[in-house]
Amino acid sequence: MNFRTPGPFPPLILDDVRGAQKMLSGVARVTAMEGSRHLTELVGAPVHLKCENLQRTGSFKLRGAYVRIAGLSPVERAAGVVAASAGNHAQGVALASALLGVRSTVFMPVGAPLPKVAATRQYGAQVRLHGHVVDETLAAAQQYAQETGAVFIHPFDHPDIIAGQGTVGLEILEQCPEVRTIVVGMGGGGLAAGIAVAVKALRPDVRIVGVQAAGAACYPPSLAAGHPVSIGSPTTMADGIKVGRPGDVPFDLVRDLVDEVRTVSEDELSSALLLCLERAKLVVEPAGASPVAALLSDPESFRGPVVALLSGGNVDPLLMQRVLTHGMVAAGRYLSLRLRLTDRPGALATLLAALSVVDANVLDIGHVRTDPRLGLTEVEVELQLETKGPEHCEEVSAALRDAGYLVMG
């Protein structure tokens, strides 16, 4: 997503965020702060999870969308609003508009997850499916705004949006006044910028760490260049932070106020999502799990108490299934092996007995007999195993080799 918003805008200050907090009273939930014993043990200091995945519409996006739309003039409200989004921003704009009595139109990609499309419609927006990538959807929304006079509601590149997102920072300071580090996922930078404005004004000693997916990390090169730059085609499962260019407005705030920007891999995102589900009993989308991924990747580098912001929980069930499988593999909980056996009665039973001894659970078995690389009496067996972690994977492989099997990985 390569978004641009015209400026300039006046600089954002703490009073703007406090004003947004008053505006959101009774609209946005003050979401829970949950302790994580597992992450606390890993980091060696208290770790708390700020659960914006439990916010109305399932993410923090309602905050900024409501503040932005509430600030429109009566003439602008009468013209309606339009947005482009594959998910969270769409739902935030739809609900905010409904609460304020403003007509909303949301453009979504043709391939947007059906639950997100249905939720956006249920919140009251007129949904138009256009384009197969968000850039095409964005262009359609902007053209609609030009043709109809509807106000385009940017997902992150506007002071009102940033002020609304910054209310999360005020809540963090109220709920965890002893916090020393806040870790937050970053796409275009609106959430991190808003939190930084609020937190640094009140507690300049608090370290703020932004986290981007390695395949969509537009901030590191932009910060190095001193201005927003595009990275081309971002690639990541974390669609909530899949942005190809920082916003012009949040970039200056991130540059001046965010202490560090880190990147995490797809494997780390998968493992973090799995951890949130298994250990914290929280459904979190990949973008929302990015702060946890950063903690898992380098736990000793964070000064506690730490607050990791779970920014959203709107994950498509099909993606959840794939991500969980990916996370299980990354955590060493699945093992795929290929072996060659003599094609005779009882050979497979003997193999399964060997696996039973090392307590590996067989999920699936495949046979190949027609590969020209196989001898006349050979069969290749492909195994999908459920294991207990990386050490158990090594134990299983070693046991099979010790039993005389050719393990091909």
Q: What is the pLDDT of residue 388?
A: 85
Torsion sign, CA atoms 187, 111, 57, 99: positive
Helix axes 347-357, 390-402, angle to 10 degrees: 140
- How would residue 304 be classed by pLDDT, with cut points 50, 70 and 90? very high
Long-range contacts of 128-135 (CB under 8 A, 24+ apart): 131/107, 133/109, 134/1, 134/84, 134/85, 134/86, 134/109, 134/242, 135/1, 135/2
Annotated catalytic residue, options 36, 59, 61, 104: 61
Among the listed residues 85, 97, 311, 397, the single catalytic one is 311
pLDDT band, very low/low/confident/very high, at 5 (cuts 50, 70, 90): very low
Distance CA 327, CA 292 (A): 13
Q: How many CB atoms sit inside 10 A of residue 287's CB?
A: 31
Q: What angle do CA 238, 126, 112 make, to 5 degrees?
A: 25
Residues 312-340: pLDDT tens digits? 999 888 888 887 777 777 777 888 888 87
Q: Average pLDDT in the 75-102 region?
A: 95
Q: How many CA atoms lie within 13 A of 11 on its CB side?
A: 9
pLDDT band at 132 (very low <50, low <70, confident <90, very high): confident
Task: Find the mean pLDDT for residues 392-402.
Answer: 87
pTM summary value: 0.84
Specify whether 61 is catalytic: yes
- CB–CB of 200/257 below 8 Å? yes
The predicted structure's pLDDT at residue 332: 76
Average pLDDT, the chain: 90
pLDDT for residue 237: 87
For residues 185 and 263, what is the distance between their CA atoms, to the nearest angstrom? Answer: 10
Q: How far apart are CA 289 and CA 266, in angstroms?
A: 11
Task: Give the residue with greater pLDDT, 380 vs 45.
Answer: 45
Position 136: which residue type? E
Q: How confident is the model at residue 371 (pLDDT cuts 50, 70, 90)?
A: low
Q: What is the mean pLDDT of residues 154-171?
A: 96
pLDDT at 2: 45
CA gap 69, 152 in Å, rounded: 10
Q: Beta strand pairing status for 151-152 and 126-129?
A: unpaired
- Taking only Cα atoms into account, the Rg of the chain, rounded to an integer number of angstroms, comes to 24
pLDDT grade, residue 409 (50/70/90)? low
The pLDDT value given to residue 330: 73
8 A C-beta contact, residue 113 and residue 316: yes
In 3D, which of 337, 349, 338, 335 has the Cα closest to residue 374? 338
How many Å from the N-terminal Cα to the C-terminal Cα in the chain?
Answer: 38
Which strands form 361-368's sheet, in the order they lie side by side? Answer: 361-368, 378-386, 334-342, 406-407
Q: What is the 3-state secondary structure (H, E, C) of 221-256?
A: HHHHHCCCCCCCCCCCCCHHHCCCCCCHHHHHHHHH
